[in-house]
Amino acid sequence: MPLAIFDLDETLIATDSDHEWGEYVCDHGLVDVSEHRAKNDAFYEQYKAGELNIDEYLAFSCSVLTRYTMEALHRYRSDFVSERITPVMLDKAYDLIRSHQARGDTVMVITSTIEFVTRPIVDAFGIDILIAPDPEIIDNRYTGNIVGVPSFAQGKVTRLEGWMSENNQSLAGSYFYSDSHNDLPLLRLVDNPVAVDPDPQLRAEAQEKSWQIISLRP
């Protein structure tokens, strides 16, 4: 069965869940607001410019998780998804996912946003397979570290190749849907790269290479 691979942020949802989670914890006073918001915004600008240091960003992102119990974090996350994410889950994204599932394709999300944030969002889209940076848990507490290779830029390729090896899959007939030029390493590998509401850098390459360009926005 061909792989239908989706990026998450600004592709299936009309926001960046990573940055939005940072805004949520600030708005609810779960962090030092001025410091956290400044760093959250700075990292987001670096991401959009293709200059993100993923290790530094993930250390920042995971630091929030170390502050609270698992029970409290799950409560905050549930509220976050209901408040900030559900309203921006795109109807056309649901339809596209369902069309691949109806064809029998293996549907998955691969994202650079941590698994803690993305798992319930991906579940809500009816997708079982998620590749995301995995925050380390010891004794039912987050340590602030990431386990393994972060699925960002070339790391998405590395993580996907590991998953395919473990699951006896290949990229034959594969699709990858993304909005971001940060995903060019994987877009260049799949049989059917699709630019979804692309940023300017991705749009330019998609036009140059005659890739499909679509919009999932209303």
Q: How far is 38 from 48, CA to CA, in rounded Å?
A: 16
User: Computed over its alpha carbons, how large is the radius of gyration of the chain?
Assistant: 17
Count other C-beta atoms under 10 Å from residue 118's C-beta: 24
Residue 10 burial (C-beta neighbours within 10 Å; 0-12, 13-18, 19+): buried
Tokens 């960003």 belong to: 57
Q: Which of 179, 114, 182 is nearest to 144 (CA)?
A: 114
The verdict on whether 9 is a catalytic residue reads yes
Residue 4 Rama label (left phi>0; alpha psi -120 to 50; beta):
beta
Q: Supply the residues annotated as catalytic.
A: 7, 9
